[in-house]
Structures are given as structure tokens and as C-alpha cells.
Amino acid sequence: MLLGHNDQFSADKIMRVTVAFNRFGAGCIERMPRVRFGYAHVANNKYEEWIMYAIGGSANPTILSEGNYFAAPNNKGCKQVTKREASGGWSSWKWRTSMDVFQNGAYFVPSGYGSCSPLYTAAQRFPVANGAMVPALTADAGPLNCVVGKPC
């Protein structure tokens, strides 16, 4: 899931995206999502055993990870949830975690200062559950098991 045109397309600074109620199963590699510029609210998703990283970014995006459930792979080199691509440094980028659950050594590297709350109107907001609720919230999420010629 790549959000944003490229690292030079600064018009994407106005982008606001919510990624919610997904189940990213074992074997997913990266970009769940990867964000360029803009704002991403990543909420109530379940991540299991990613291969490289779960949430990434470049070109100074703002990311709020809220109420997610992260179960890291057994590979000791892949415990970090986050990955930043930056030649000029990323320590001022606003990346936050709130109400997330981290299992099997998973960890999130926050950065930046100031508010990182959702940039949405009251009508666009929704209540985010604590990450402990995510396995139940996403129990039926995932690819459809469809057979050609039969309804799904």
C-alpha cells in the first residue's frame, strides 16, 4: 500500500488517509502502508509476522498509529514496526503510537514534536478501540475465498 506519488511531489502534503480494520497476515513484506508526505491515521489493524517492516514513510509524512495489534516475526532483525527512508534525517517527522499492542518483541520508533492528532472534522472521526480488541475486530478480515462461477 503505497500512498503518495513520489518523494518530489510535494502537492501530496494535503493528503489525508485512514487505513483501518485490516488484517495483514504472515508473509506480508512491507508497505502496510508506506506514506510519502501527507497524513496517515493507521487504526485498528492487525499485523502478523511482517518480513521487513509494517509502517514506513519518506518525504516527511505525519503518521499516527492508533489501536493496532503488532505480532512481530521470530526473526530478530524484523521486530521494528517502522521504517523511514530519509537522506536528510527524520527525527523531526511526527510519528506517534497510541493504544497499540506489541507482541513478540515488536516495537514502534516515535519521532518529532507537537500534535499528531487526526486532521479530520468531527463528522470524519470514529472511535478507535484499544489494540487488545483488534484480533476480535479483524477476525473476519482478509481475502475472499471465492470460486469461479459461484457467488462470494
Residues designated as active site? 31
Structure confidence by residue, pLDDT tens digits, 18-72 = 999 999 998 899 999 999 999 999 999 999 999 999 999 999 999 999 999 999 9
Q: Which three cell numbers stand for residue 49?
A: 509476522
Q: Which three cell numbers stand for residue 10?
A: 510535494
pLDDT of residue 13: 93
Residue 144's region, left for phi above 0, alpha for psi from -120 to 50, else beta, is beta
Strand partners, 46: 23, 69
Domain architecture of the chain: domains with CATH: 2-138 (2.160.20.10)
Strand order in the sheet with 2-3: 2-3, 34-36, 55-58, 82-85
pTM greater than 0.75: yes
Q: Which three cell numbers stand for residue 106?
A: 515488536
Interatomic CA distance for residues 85 and 51, integer angstroms: 17
- Cβ–Cβ < 8 Å for 52, 75: no
Interacting residues of 105 by C-beta distance below 8 A, sequence separation 6+: 72, 76, 79
CA trace torsion 82, 140, 43, 53 (10° rounding): 10
- Cβ–Cβ < 8 Å for 21, 47: no
pLDDT of residue 54: 97
